[in-house]
Chain A
Amino acid sequence: MTVRLLPCGRRAVLVEPDDVLGFQAALEQAPPDGLVELVPAARTLLVRFDPSVTDADRLGALLRQVSPVDSVVSSSAEVVIPVVYDGEDLADVAADAGLSVSSLIARHSGGSYVSAFCGFAPGFAYLSGLDPALHVPRRPTPRTRIPAGSVAIAGEYSAVYPSASPGGWRLLGRTGVPVWDVERDPPNLLPPGTKVRFEAVRA
């Protein structure tokens, strides 16, 4: 098992493990002294620590010993997100992928996704599991405003915009399911490890 450790100031180390969620699960089971917060992303795990308790060298020696464990994906329930597939980029994405629109919808809604990590905005979950035929780059120029509930794809991920924001992802459709609600506990519907399925519905 290989793990790269990258420096990130005096209060954090960026870890590049083979299995981010498994590495995170191992640290959650046996937290090292001084651990403050774990932030998973696409290929990396940020390990924030309390510099009055430990330092990058001591923590690094511990992190090199970590063996990834099965993450929580298998135990969590599946969240089903109904989608009206009428997004502005639907036809363009289908054309770029050499698919009909209905085949694009079938492939997007046919996949089983897992929330890999959250970032960009509160509640914005990067959902892995997108059909490789649908891996498309972001728009060259981001839109200045994308409505909350927009269902979109970019690269190897799909996502639901939790609130209105600028963004460069390709819009396939929309959902009425609020993925972020500060009145809810937890506010995030799709924390890392959540299984997700999209379901095509009529407008």
Chain B
Amino acid sequence: MKLEVVRPGFTTTVQDLGRPGHAALGVGRSGAADRGSFRLANRLVGNPPGAAALEVTLGGLVLRASAVTTVAVTGALCPVSPGGMNAPMTLWPGDELVLGTASAGLRCYVAVRGGIDVPPVLGSRSTDTLGKLGPPPLAAGMLLPVGTPGAFPAADLAPRAALPDAPVLRVTPGPRRDWFASPDDLLSAVYTVSPDSDRVGIRLTGPALERVRHDELPSEACVPGSLQVPPSGRPILFHADHPTTGGYPVIAVVEEDDLDVAAQLRPGQTLRFRPAS
């Protein structure tokens, strides 16, 4: 069974839970940016939690089924037909799954019963946009192989809380906090998500963080959630496809549990940071 890509939407990639464990080779974790929504989409179609699914930025995807199949859409709030979000739906041969434009949040996840069965690279089917690993982004006319279905879906609907309008992300101190004049300025500022944001990093505009040390930092390894501060003083929140090492100081690290919320931030949206308790 294959799914035909009628329209790829703004940007759609195949993602799973990524390829952790290869950072010493320069290969990042990658994988779904909003892992909670990704896992839920798989659960709704009866897949194991790490089966490959589609990550759709801002919506706009249209897929056509060639056989009876079950799909589910989670994540950013988006008009979906047939059916709706956060529930399994059946596509009959010739049916099209249509995602409109997301009205809240940034990324939708489309899981297909059986999973997207592209060949794994280093143990993962994820597209790493920075490391250029995994399958290319979806294009019109592409045929997506679907794997052998396992279990049947066990849930009809998964109610989800609305995404926060003005998110607050929890942080712990980063390794180079002492390179900044007053690192707690990070906690009092209101930041705005820049349109330059992508799977590599969420660029923020707002007051500049002033440095007390101006020497070059030798490259050092980073973790997802690192708030790296380049010379501009505006932090970049390293996300799913972040480089494995970076050469600018990391002032703080966003809690792993809050990275799903960060993945749904839209350009222009404001956010704040607060210390993790």
B220 pairs with A44, CB closer than 8 A: yes
Asked if A38 contacts B24 (CB within 8 A), the reply is yes
Q: Shortest Cβ distance from B237 into chain A, in angstroms?
A: 12
**How far is the CB of B58 from the nearest CB of chain A, in Å?**
25
A121 contacts across to B, CB distance below 8 A: 26, 130-131, 243
B243 surroundings in chain A (CB, below 8 A): 119-121
**A187 and B172 within 8 A (CB):** no
Query: Hey, what's the 0/1 contact readout for B119-146 against A, CB within 8 Å counting as 1?
Result: 0011000001011110000000000000
Contact of A46 with B by CB under 8 A: yes
A188 within 8 A of B: yes
Which residue of chain A has the shortest Cβ distance to B256 in the bound complex? A11
In the complex, the answer to whether A122 meets B133 with C-beta atoms within 8 Å is: yes
Scoring B21, B128, B175 by chain A CB atoms within 10 A of each residue's CB, the highest score goes to: B175
In the assembled complex, the CB of A6 is this many whole angstroms from the nearest CB of chain B, namely: 4
Distance, CA A120 to CA B219, complexed state (A): 9
A23 within 8 A of B: no
Q: Is B253 an interface residue (CB 8 A)?
A: yes
Q: Is the pair B255, A123 in contact by a Cβ cutoff of 8 Å? A: no
**A48, B132: Cα distance in complex, Å:** 24
Residues of B within 8 A of A9 (CB): 172, 174, 223, 225-226, 253-256
Cβ of B244 under 8 Å from chain A: yes
User: Are the C-beta atoms of B131 and A122 separated by less than 8 Å?
Assistant: yes
The answer to whether A10 touches B172, judged by C-beta atoms less than 8 angstroms apart, is yes
Q: Is B122's CB under 8 angstroms from A41's CB?
A: no
Task: Given the known inter-chain contacts A46-B220, A117-B245, please indicate yes or no for A37 contacting B175, CB distance below 8 A.
Answer: no
A14 to B23, CA, bound (A): 14
Is A98 an interface position by the 8 A CB rule?
no
**B36 interfacial by beta-carbon distance below 8 Å:** no
Q: In whole angstroms, how far apart are the Cα atoms of A171 and B204 in the complex? A: 33
A-B contact count (CB 8 A): 118
Asked if B225 and A120 make an inter-chain contact with CB atoms under 8 angstroms apart, the answer reads no
> How many of chain B's residues have a CB under 8 angstroms from any CB in A?
38
Q: Which residues of A contact B161 (CB under 8 A)?
A: none
| Contact of A10 with B25 in the complex, beta carbons under 8 Å | no
Interface code B238-260, partner A: CB below 8 Å = 1, 0 otherwise? 00000111000010011110000
Answer yes or no: B20 CB below 8 A from chain A CBs. yes
Residue of B nearest to A118 (CB): B26
* A43 to B175 alpha-carbon distance, docked (Å): 13
- Complex CA distance for A172 and B274, rounded to whole angstroms: 47
For chain A, the bracket of interface size reads 35 or more
Instruction: Answer whether residue A126 sits at the interface, using C-beta atoms and an 8 A cutoff.
Output: yes
Interface bits B1-42 vs A (CB < 8 Å: 1, else 0) = 000000000000000000011011111000000000000000
Q: In the assembly, what is the distance between CA of A192 and CA of B173, in Å? A: 29
Q: How far is the CB of B229 from chain A (nearest CB, A)?
A: 15
B23 CB contacts on chain A under 8 angstroms = 37, 39, 46, 48
Check B245–A41 contact: CB distance below 8 A: yes
Q: Is the CB of B250 within 8 A of A187?
A: no
Report A121 CB to chain B, min CB distance, Å.
6
> Chain A 119-143, CB within 8 Å of chain B: the 1/0 string?
1111111100000000000000000
A7 close to B (CB within 8 Å): yes
Q: Is the CB of A123 within 8 A of B26?
A: yes
Q: Do A11 and B223 contact each other (CB < 8 Å), given the known contacts A121-B243, A163-B132, A187-B122?
A: yes
B26 to chain A: closest residue by CB: A118
**Smallest Cβ distance from B236 to chain A, in angstroms?**
15
Are the C-beta atoms of B175 and A7 separated by less than 8 Å?
Answer: yes
A82 → chain B closest CB, angstroms: 23
Chain A contacts to B: CB under 8 angstroms: 6-12, 14, 36-46, 48, 117-126, 155, 162-163, 182, 186-188, 191-192
Nearest 6 CB-CB pairings of A with B? A119-B245, A42-B218, A46-B221, A9-B253, A6-B175, A39-B221
B interface residues, Cβ below 8 angstroms from A: 20-21, 23-27, 121-122, 128, 130-133, 172-177, 216, 218-223, 225-226, 243-245, 250, 253-256, 276
17 new A-B contacts, CB < 8 A, other than A37-B23, A119-B26, A122-B131, are A6-B176, A7-B177, A8-B175, A9-B223, A10-B255, A11-B256, A41-B245, A42-B220, A45-B221, A118-B26, A118-B244, A119-B221, A119-B245, A122-B132, A123-B25, A124-B26, A188-B26
